[in-house]
Chains A and B, each alone.
Chain A
Amino acid sequence: MGRKLLLEHINVPGINTFDVYRSKGGYASVEKALKMTPEEIVEEVKKSGLRGRGGAGFPTGMKWSFLAKPEGVPRYLVCNGDESEPGTFKDRYLMTHIPHLLIEGMIVSSFALGANTSYIYLRGEMMPQVRILERAIAEAKAKGFLGKNILGTGYDLELYVQPGGGAYICGEETALLESLEGKRGNPRIKPPFPAIAGLYGCPTVVNNVESIAAVVPIINEGGDEYAKIGIGRSTGTKLISAGGNLKKPGVYEIELGLPVEEFIYSDEYCGGIANGKRLKAVVAGGSSVPILPANLILKTINNEARLMSYESLSDGGFVSGTMLGSGGFIAYDEDACIVRNTWNFARFYHHESCGQCSPCREGTGWMEKVLHRLEYGHGKMSDMDLLVDVSKKIEGNTICPLGDAAAWPVASAIRHFRDEFEWHVTNASEATSRNYGLAHYADPLKVVETSPL
């Protein structure tokens, strides 16, 4: 049984109210943190090894220490709640059921960064969560945890919830800041990074909801204690949104380093594949990470068990690895069509590209059209190479990571499932009526011969 730090009290009735949350030890970290200096809190977060939970996995403590601190300029903390990656729903779950955890984390983090105004930016579709958070903020304010002179320490903090317009691109930090400023959500050209010139041109830190919530246990237990959980440089616990053809989909809090096989098949977590079917493929971290066939997700190319951690999932790089990303774990059973799924993802990125820079604007649409053609049996053998080439032309040449996110699922699907794509061309009429099936995607990996030297 793994340790639960964020969702420990999730099943307590009424945990979304201030009184119940407080009785379960809530807001203890605020009391503790306000007695520390901001530098000590940043140091504590650095020691914890907490890595950004939004997808990129950049160390949070390091990000905080990069924040410019010029005199007389306000600093901002912005919480990125624009969770819109297909397959990821952990932040919404956290905010719906235990909103005070996020608010507690926001108070501690804002204090550590010296921000007196902080924002929680939510996706436009999350209106219930806006109301939940606003109610929670009002409760915390009434109890003296927000507003002027928090707990008599002289620290002021105003917390605002801002719903966006519902665009995926506004989850990119600079696009989020543009949107928060009331402009069109186009990503900015970096540098300057938000830590130097962010919201209204002031130094800003943008953190994921889960990263900010994870600050609470770090302060409560100490950074060293938090760093003991997990494996290697992947410390602490992570919320995984398990979806797809699983027996028990949902949000699970895991200790990083849990074997993927255990996560999928153990009864504590997902309980195996639904309806007794076999696993075909997994997207391990939300739609933008490379998709892997069943044999590669359970074992790395060196035949070691793959673990749920930043390093183990990316073992093998783009050739045979994937990424932990935002933790949107989507499992596909043997009846899933990878071509259709890839087309679906491409359609999403085509729809969500902001249209600012040309490779992403035009390339996502092009890939979607080619994949649509393949899925509906009008494809050509050359289409696979075309798709790989287009994805390469997009990848790395765009302003923001959306281009990469659109290119990776397509490139990886063709890399690992090329025969299924080819079957869609050679057996075009059959492909519209039935799926390719499991084929060899779950076969044990060939053991690579090692050199005796």
Chain B
Amino acid sequence: MKVTIDGITVDVEPGTSILNAARQIGGDIVPPAMCYYSKLQGSGGKCRTCLVKVTKGSEKDPRPMPKLVASCRTGVMDGMEVQNITSPEVVEARKGVVEMLLINHPLDCPVCDQAGECHLQDLGFEHGAAKTRYEFDRRTFEKIDIGDKIQLHMTRCILCYRCVFTADQITNTRLHGILNRGDHSEISTYISKAVDNDFSGNVIDVCPVGALTDKTFRFKNRVWFTKPVEAHRDCDKCCGKVTLWYKGEDVIRVTGRKDVYGEVEEFICNTCRFDKKKTADWVIEGPRKVSHHSVISANHYEFTPLPVVKTNPVLIEANKEQFERETRL
């Protein structure tokens, strides 16, 4: 199936969502997604940051869709044409959504452990306004401990439901859900029942903001001062493939391996995550490559050269001129 997103055509399998088609193209035209998580069934459609405009429904039925659609939950049709960053309407709507997501967010990034790998931070930086128009008290909640290793800070939550789907699908029992309604709804472990399960730690990895944090890592360090290293071990519960986050000699955190969209490649168990914090427990594979857009890559002195369009004669000429100028000096 052929689908055109912002003028770039890509061939995808039937049943692919617009978001995943855009991810196959990559780059700036990928809509941001706060609630969609490709590994979790049924996720997506809630945060509305991935809204896109469908200007042509399909080859058969070329009518445009009347409203902006959530790209993560809309399947592509053959010949579909989609506008993301090229549509002012989409950009405007996305700005609105980001503003809405931020009005009840405490913006306590300086003391938040998620800072540096927070999707909301990136989203606000890329699409948000510099100032807020919201002049009222933000909603606040008490911090809740979910078991002895995870802390829930609902004040920061954007209600993406990812952790609810994780608890539903990765773990055996359903102990985790949403209470109440509207902007007073909250993530709950059904009346403070601890999520006591081998895979419960994954809710930390799927959380796009700092609402669910690792208590063994809380306030230990900023993520951009740590060094991510890929490692594995023989684990009878999970795949055992993780990222170790080093501070000097010490492993201060263990997480799943996150890709460029912040999604873990495979879920890991709590033993790997919380209990194996010595280098001796692991077989080191090498440094973890983190996208150079991420603040985690800052000061890591690794860079990918900018792409040069080799077939463009104007660019080649310009590059040659610049090279000559620099060598002369």
Contact = CB atoms under 8 A, between A and B. Distances in A.
Interface of A: 167, 169, 184, 189, 350-359, 361-366, 369, 386, 392-394, 396-399
A396 B180 CA distance: 24
Nearest to A354: B181
Contact of A361 (B45, B133, B159): B159
Interface string B116-140: 0000000000000000011010000
Interface string B64-89: 00011010010000000000000000
Contacts of B70: 189, 399
Interface stretch (B21-29, B94-102, B221-229): B94-102
23 contacts: A167-B181, A184-B177, A189-B45, A351-B181, A352-B181, A353-B182, A354-B185, A355-B185, A356-B159, A357-B47, A358-B46, A358-B49, A361-B182, A361-B185, A362-B100, A362-B104, A365-B183, A366-B103, A386-B133, A393-B97, A396-B67, A397-B51, A397-B68
Contacts of B101: 358, 362
Contacts of A365: 104, 182-183
Given A189-B45, A397-B51, A398-B48, A351 B182 contact: yes
Nearest 10 pairs between A and B by C-beta? A393-B96, A355-B185, A362-B100, A353-B182, A189-B45, A365-B183, A355-B182, A369-B136, A396-B67, A189-B73
A365 B177 CA distance: 22
Contacts of B159: 355-356, 358, 361
A58 B77 CA distance: 26
A353 B104 CA distance: 15
B269 interface: no
Main secondary structure of the interface of B (DSSP, over half): loop
B217 to A, nearest CB: 28
Given A397-B93, A399-B46, A355 B181 contact: yes
Nearest to B66: A396
A396 B45 CA distance: 14
B182 A364 contact: yes
A355 B97 contact: no
Interface of B: 44-49, 51, 67-68, 70, 73, 93, 96-97, 99-101, 103-104, 133-134, 136, 158-159, 161, 177-178, 180-185
A189 B42 CA distance: 10
Given A355-B178, A366-B100, 7 more contacts: A189-B73, A351-B182, A355-B183, A362-B100, A366-B134, A397-B68, A399-B70
B246 to A, nearest CB: 36
A373 to B, nearest CB: 8
Contacts of A355: 159, 178, 180-185
Contacts of A356: 46, 159, 161
A94 to B, nearest CB: 28
Contacts of A350: 182-183
A397 B182 contact: no
B84 to A, nearest CB: 15
Contacts of B181: 167, 169, 351-355
Given A184-B177, A396-B68, A358 B134 contact: no
Contacts, number: 90
Contact of B178 (A184, A189, A364, A386): A184
A288 B48 CA distance: 22
Nearest to B134: A366
Contacts of B183: 350, 353, 355, 361-362, 364-365
Contact of A393 (B99, B158, B180, B184): B99
Contact of B48 (A353, A358, A364): A358
B158 A358 contact: yes
A379 to B, nearest CB: 11
B178 A358 contact: no
Nearest to A364: B182
A88 to B, nearest CB: 21
A399 B101 CA distance: 16
Of the candidates A353, A362, A393, A396, the one having the most CB atoms from chain B within 10 angstroms of its own CB is A362
A359 B96 contact: yes
A274 to B, nearest CB: 34
Contact of A357 (B46, B93, B104, B178): B46
A394 B133 CA distance: 15
A399 B159 CA distance: 15
Given A189-B73, A357-B45, A363 B68 contact: no
Nearest to B185: A355
Interface centre among B46, B161, B180 (most CB of A within 10 A): B46
A397 B48 contact: yes
Nearest to A169: B181
Contacts of A358: 46-49, 97, 100-101, 158-159
B182 A399 contact: no
A352 B73 CA distance: 24
A396 B65 CA distance: 12
Contacts of B49: 358
A359 B67 CA distance: 15
A359 B104 CA distance: 12
Contacts of B133: 386
Nearest to B164: A184
A80 B29 CA distance: 41
A392 B92 CA distance: 10
Nearest to B49: A358
A398 B51 CA distance: 10
Nearest to B101: A358
A127 B269 CA distance: 48
B45 A399 contact: yes
Contacts of B178: 184, 355
A189 B51 CA distance: 13
B93 A393 contact: yes
A357 B49 CA distance: 10
A355 B187 CA distance: 11
B48 A354 contact: no
A438 to B, nearest CB: 32
A359 B97 contact: yes
Contacts of A189: 44-45, 70, 73
A351 B180 CA distance: 10
A173 B306 CA distance: 51
A392 B97 CA distance: 11
B103 to A, nearest CB: 5
Contacts of B97: 358-359, 393, 397
A396 B134 CA distance: 21
Nearest to B75: A191
A394 B159 CA distance: 17
Contacts of A364: 182-183
